[in-house]
Amino acid sequence: MSNWKMYKSTGNGFGAVTGQAGSLVTQLDAVLVNGGATQGITSITRSGSTATVTCAAAHNITVGQNDWVTLSGASQSDYNGTFQVLATSTTVFTYTVANSPATPATGTCLWNHPGAGWTTVFTATNKRVYLNGSGALSRRYFRINDAAAGVGGAKEALIRGFTTMSDIDTGTNPFPTNAQCANTQNSHAINKSQTADATARAWFIFADDRTCYIFIVNGSGNYAPVLFGEYYSFTPGDTTACMLCGQITENSYSTVSGFAMSNAANAAAGSCTSGYTCGDGALFKNSTQFGIPYCQFQQ
């Protein structure tokens, strides 16, 4: 099983989301694929199997949260790789190193937060198609249009899932289908900001190479959550266990932005219909709508 990682806008190598085109996919490129920008290291020393890293600046790592790091540039290869942090102080963190490399490490050593293991399949200006990693059984494609294409303009991005894709805008077996979603490009919205400007909006993301949960503090008084990727199925080898949950109403900030209510009756019943699963185009329906328990995330 892959390791869940937590990412946040205040983490070194990342930045805020704004109500401007491209601000979300810039951060998702780092979180899902490339990792955060590299940070400087003053020294790496070793005592037994514990490596101690002194950073060039405060690292903002919290053990139990954003505590996965990738080390690179050391002449002694055992120091390089992706590790979970054991302990921290303001500019120092430790991790377990294999074998007995020379101490201190030599070379130009750097660290960063690693990406979650997804790939970017297609790229256009402020648009991306992401594919979850090889550890996922139900590998599906997710197109994110962050080019101010929807009703909310640059305040929102649009997201839709596909079974296969041949270019940035063309795919098969979409979820949701055209009939299920009348929004712009038949997509769900991702609320980035209440305002179409450079106001910095904080976010945090939980992700592994299968699934991504996004929470954006968009200024409305609520978090704006979105979920896409594989869910854990009770069916062994299930290649259709993939889903998308997002905002069903464009340019709307009055409801719980991600898992929004489609109507008052759904809200009263404690469920909503903002979720869609993929299918295989044969035995399972191409896109199946489902409800989730009503929940509210407030700032």
Confidence of residue 230 (pLDDT cuts 50, 70, 90): very high
Helices (H), the chain: 23-28, 264-269
pLDDT at 270: 45
pLDDT at 114: 97
- Of 4-13, 159-168, 249-258, least confident by mean pLDDT is 249-258
What is the spatial distance between Cα 50 and Cα 95, in angstroms, rounded to a whole number? 6
Mean confidence (pLDDT) of the chain: 88
pLDDT at 281: 60
pLDDT at 272: 52
Beta bridge partners of 271: 293
pLDDT at 280: 65
Checking if the pLDDT of 260 tops 50, the result is: no
Q: What is the tens place of the pLDDT at every residue in 264-274?
A: 444 444 445 57
Q: What is the tens place of the pLDDT at every residue in 178-196?
A: 998 899 999 999 999 999 9
Which has the closest alpha carbon to 135: 2, 277, 280? 2
What is the spatial distance between Cα 189 and Cα 246, in angstroms, rounded to a whole number? 6
pLDDT at 269: 47
- Tell me what percent of the residues of the chain surpass a pLDDT of 70: 87
* pTM metric for this prediction: 0.89
pLDDT at 267: 46
pLDDT at 223: 74
Confidence of residue 262 (pLDDT cuts 50, 70, 90): very low
**Residue that is written with structure tokens 């899902």 in the block:** 32
What is the spatial distance between Cα 163 and Cα 150, in angstroms, rounded to a whole number? 23
